[in-house]
């Protein structure tokens, strides 16, 4: 527990700022708290079960306005590398997800699935489809050895269609929108980043050309769903294993990346950072989500060590993190720097985190103890 004396925001201030509804296209999210997507691997065969239903519904019942699910593999054989990560394709898988959406709605929340293809992160022979190749924008060099194959025009079309099918399925089975995973060095991000995209065709080269694949996915998804159905795009500067990587070093460069995506049909951007309180570019206090909103005019979601003092990467090594105050977060939300805040480890540790914050029960907030990744509670 954190001593009450260290808690700064008043109950009324936290409730006033965080309880405001916010619109994402045709969806009204009841408050400004979102659950960040976090891979859990508790879905054998790619099928989310009743424990997954309870896991998400419990957090919605405690006041999380928008649930963004863990990454779910789209219907492409090369999309993933685990048979315990849920898939968003297949009769049993979608039936399981329909129950998740129903459970979250019954608890008063809204929910979007995060649609995911990991690209060259996958190694040949890995599940769930061991015969599938590892594909990406270009052959990848790992320790000097070539890995994977560069996608052909047919491969690009297949993946674009897989994202569109998954989005249409999400709307059909009752979800409130979709989030496209374009961050952290996975397939879409592999096209966006010069470090992994060495193509010489229309999908490689300058920053705008490198957005072509992502923009085509967004456009296909937009066409596959109704006009009011929200499309969220998650992106990051950093990559897994390359934390200093950057898509853009200036606001102008960032605008070159984001504008084609916004024009293709993105309704909101989920700007993933490791620490939300850090400014993104020299000369401004705006973080990445703040710059995203300023440059595109779109709804933006911030994320990165919310409520905790310690970055999430260390959680994979079992490290904990103490509670961190949210005064700065509330200041930024109040000034409309961004529109929603996604919470990760704090919500893994404590399903009641949102309820406690909204009620000003800051003395009840729990530090992250490093064990929550191992259980589904």
Answer yes or no: are the C-beta atoms of 99 and 90 closer than 8 Å.
Answer: no
Q: DSSP assignment, residue 64?
A: -
Active site residue 186: yes
Alpha helices in 128-210 (DSSP H): 153-172, 187-192, 207-210
Answer yes or no: are the C-beta atoms of 41 and 316 closer than 8 Å.
Answer: no
Backbone angles phi, psi at 178, to 5 degrees: -140, 155
Q: Say whether 164 sits in a helix, a strand or coil.
A: helix
Residue 240 CB burial class (10 angstroms; 0-12, 13-18, ≥19): middle
From 55, 56, 73, 186, active-site residue:
186
In the numeric block, which tokens belong to residue 108? 């008063």
Residue closest to 224 by CA, chosen among 160, 162, 158, 165: 165
156: Cβ contacts below 8 Å, ≥ 6 apart: 203, 213, 216
Q: What gap in Å lies between CA 169 and CA 116, rounded to an integer?
A: 14
Q: DSSP assignment, residue 67?
A: E
Which residues belong to the active site?
186
């Amino acid at each position: 527990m954190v001593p009450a004396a260290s808690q700064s925001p008043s109950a009324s201030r936290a409730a006033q700022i965080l309880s405001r509804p916010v619109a994402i296209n045709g969806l009204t999210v009841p408050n400004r708290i979102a659950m960040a997507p976090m891979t859990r691997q508790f879905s054998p065969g790619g099928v989310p079960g009743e424990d997954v239903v309870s896991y998400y519904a419990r957090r919605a019942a405690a006041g999380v306005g928008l649930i963004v699910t863990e990454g779910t593999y789209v219907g492409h054989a090369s999309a993933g590398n685990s048979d315990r990560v849920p898939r968003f394709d297949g009769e049993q898988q979608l039936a399981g997800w329909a129950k998740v959406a129903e459970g979250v709605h019954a608890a008063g929340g809204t929910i979007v699935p995060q649609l995911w293809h990991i690209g060259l992160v996958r190694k040949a022979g890995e599940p769930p489809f061991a015969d599938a190749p590892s594909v990406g924008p270009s052959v990848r060099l790992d320790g000097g050895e070539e890995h994977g194959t560069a996608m052909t025009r047919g491969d690009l079309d297949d993946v674009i269609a897989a994202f569109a099918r998954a989005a249409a399925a999400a709307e059909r089975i009752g979800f409130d929108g979709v989030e496209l995973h374009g961050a952290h060095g996975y397939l879409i991000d592999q096209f966006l980043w010069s470090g992994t995209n060495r193509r010489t065709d229309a999908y490689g080269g300058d920053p705008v050309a490198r957005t072509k694949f992502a923009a085509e996915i967004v456009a296909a998804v937009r066409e596959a769903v109704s006009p009011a159905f929200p499309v969220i795009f998650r992106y990051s500067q950093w990559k897994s294993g390359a934390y200093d990587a950057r898509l853009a070093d200036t606001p102008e460069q960032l605008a070159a990346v984001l504008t084609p995506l916004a024009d293709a049909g993105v309704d909101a951007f989920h700007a993933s950072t490791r620490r939300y309180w850090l400014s993104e570019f020299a000369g401004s206090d705006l973080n990445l989500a703040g710059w995203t909103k300023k440059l595109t005019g779109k709804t933006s979601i911030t994320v990165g060590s919310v409520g905790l003092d310690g970055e999430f990467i260390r959680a994979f090594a079992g490290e904990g993190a103490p509670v961190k105050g949210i005064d700065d977060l509330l200041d930024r939300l109040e000034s409309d720097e961004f529109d929603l805040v996604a919470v990760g480890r704090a919500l893994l540790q404590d399903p009641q985190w949102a309820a406690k914050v909204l009620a000003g029960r800051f003395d009840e907030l729990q530090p992250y103890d490093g064990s929550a990744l191992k259980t589904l509670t």
